[in-house]
Amino acid sequence: MAHFWTLEAFLPGMIERNHGHVVALSSMCGVLGLPNVVPYCASKFAVRGMMESLYEELRVNDTAANKSQVKFTTVYPIMVNTGLVKNPRNRIPQLLDLQSPERVASKIVKAMRRNYREISIPTPLLTLDRISRLLPYKFIQQVKDFIDTGLDPDDGCDTSASK
């Protein structure tokens, strides 16, 4: 809800001035669902949908004489070392290492300055997700099972739907 209320307060002024940049922090949990964090995933999918919809709304309302200069960037980090998750499960830490908040912040600022619509942290995750959606679902499930990245219900962060 914080994203919504913040946008409600600031986006009209940005549109009126035809200038501004909205950066929303989602998560890779807003790109692919994970067990044991169902409500969290749902809220992050909502951020993704809201940002895509806002971008499209401004884009279709553009005219040749008045192209919107309000920019949108959605950020999808996988795991940030904030203390929220105590023991993330990860079979291949070289691929999906725990990111420092400073590194994530630096990548967000860089993405905003370059007007990227979306970024994942680490970078290749969104591309891998898009490619994976072209492959058979059963194969993708096997890859997910092999990589075994996620949270266990006893990690102190259990927000699963099965409670």
Catalytic sites, residue numbers = 40
Sheet with 20-25: strands ordered across: 20-25, 70-77, 118-121
Q: What angle do CA 110, 113, 119 make, to 5 degrees?
A: 55
Q: Which of 44, 39, 34 is nearest to 74 (CA)?
A: 44
Q: How far apart are CA 100 and CA 80, in angstroms?
A: 6
